[in-house]
Structure 1
Amino acid sequence: MTRQPDEWLDDVPDNQDEEDEEIIWVSKSEIKRDAEELKRLGNEMVDLGKNSLDKLPLDEELRAAIELAQKIKKEGRRRQIQLIGKLLRNRDVEPIRQALDKLKNRHNQQVALFHKLEQLRDRLIEQGDEAMPEVLALYPDADRQQLRSMIRNAQKEKAGNKPPKSARQIFQYLRELAEA
C-alpha cells in the first residue's frame, strides 16, 4: 500500500511544529563575527600585565591559556589567541568585559589626572605666586613654603636652560597631594 503525501503529515508529532518555530536561526556570518569579537577580547587580555589580569574574573584554564599566549611569539601566539577565543565561547564573558572596561576607565582617569597636574605645574612655574591660591584651594594640605621654593628653583632652571629637575619635583609633589 502506498501512502499519499497528506498521510505523511500524520506521522509528524504535533509538538514538532512548535519546536521548529522556537529555534532561532543564526547566520554563519553572525557566528563568525561573534567568534572574532571573542578573539579580540582574548587579545586584549593577553596584552594586559599580571596585576591587571589578577583583577579579572578568570578561571584557571583560561588564565593558564592567557599566560601561555603572553610567552609565545608570532604564529603560535595567533593560534593560542584562537584557542582563548574558543574557550571564551563556553563562558559568560560579560563579567570579564565589565572588569576590562573598569580597568580601561581607571587608566583613562589616571591619564586625565596627570594632564591636569602637568598643566597646574606649568601654570605655577609661569605665574609663580599668582597661581598659588588655585593649588591651595584644590589641596589645602599643601606646604606653601616648600612649593614656593620648588617654583623658584624651577624658574631658575628654566631661565638657565638647565634640566627641569625642580619641575619634576613639583609634579611629584602635586601627584602626592592628589593621591592623599
Structure 2
Amino acid sequence: MEPLANNEKSRTQLKKEAKALQQIGVRLATLSDDQLGRMNLPDDLMEAIRDVRSMRSHGARRRQMQYIGTLMRQVAVAPIEQALMDIEQGAHQQARAFQRVESWRDRLVTGDDKLMNEILERFPDANRQRLGQLVRSARKEIGKEAPKRSARHLFRYLQELTSG
C-alpha cells in the first residue's frame, strides 16, 4: 500500500468528516422553518431537511440523513455551525431566565420580602403596588386546593419586568 500524498485524506478521515456533516444535518432537522430560513441554506438542502422531518421509517431517515450529509459537502459549514451554536445558546439563556423568574416567584410567595425590594430596585419601572398585590394574593392561595391563579399572574408579571 502506498503512503498518501499530503493533500489526500485517508478513507477513515473522509468517513469521519461525512459523519460530522450528518450530525450537523441532524441538528438542522430539529430547527423550525423560521430558524432554518435565517441561515440562507441552499434550496435542495432545505427541501431534504423538510423531507426528513416527515419520515417515520428508521431506514428512510438514515438514508435521508446520509443524503443531507452529501449535500452539506457543497456548502460552507462554519457559518452553519456558528448559527447552530447561537441558536442553542439562546435557548439555554431563555431556560435560565425562565428558571430565575420561577425562583423569584417561589421565594416571594414563601415570604422573602427582601427579594421584593431587590426586584423593585433592579426594575425601576415596576409597579410596587401591583407586585405587592400579586404576592399577597399568591400567598393566600398557598393552602387552598384551587388552581394557583395568582402565582401564575405573579410569574407573568415578573417575566414582563425582565423582558422589557
Q: Normalising by the residue count of structure 1, what TM-score does the alignment of the two structures yield?
A: 0.83
In percent, how many aligned pairs have the same letter? 36
Q: What residue ranges of structure 1 are gaps of 5+ in the alignment?
A: 1-20
2:123 maps to a residue whose letter is Y
> In the alignment, what sits opposite 1:147?
131
Partner residue, 1:134: 118
Q: C-alpha distance in 2, partners of 1:120/1:63?
A: 41
Q: Which amino acid letter does the alignment assign opposite residue 49 of structure 1?
A: S
Residue aligning to 2:141: 157
Which TM-score applies when normalising by structure 2? 0.90
Aligned Cα RMSD in Å?
A: 1.8
Counterpart in the other structure of 1:119? 103
Task: Deviation per CA, 1:21-66: give whole Å up to 9, x if none.
Answer: 9742322111111111100100111111222212223111111111
In structure 2, distance between residues paired with 1:99 and 1:129: 42
Which structure 2 residue ranges, 5 or more long, are not aligned? Answer: none
Query: Pick from 62, 65, 85: which aligns with 2:48?
Result: 65
Moved over 3 A (4+): none
Letter in 2 for 1:164: K
Q: Which has the higher helix share?
A: 1
Letter in 2 for 1:87: L
Q: Which has the higher contact order (CA 8 A, sep 6+)?
A: 2
Contact 1:57-1:96 at 8 Å conserved across structures:
no
Letter in structure 1 aligned against 2:51? L
Task: State the structure with more CA Rg.
Answer: 1
My pick for the range that moved more, 46-55 or 93-102, is 46-55
Match of 1:38 among 7, 13, 21: 21
Residue 54 (structure 1) aligned to one of 19, 37, 43: 37
Equivalent pair of 1:150/1:167 in contact (CA under 8 Å): yes
Rounded Cα–Cα distance in structure 1 between residues aligned with 2:91 and 2:122 = 22
Q: 1:97 to 1:34 in 2, by over 3 A?
A: same
Letter in 2 for 1:123: R
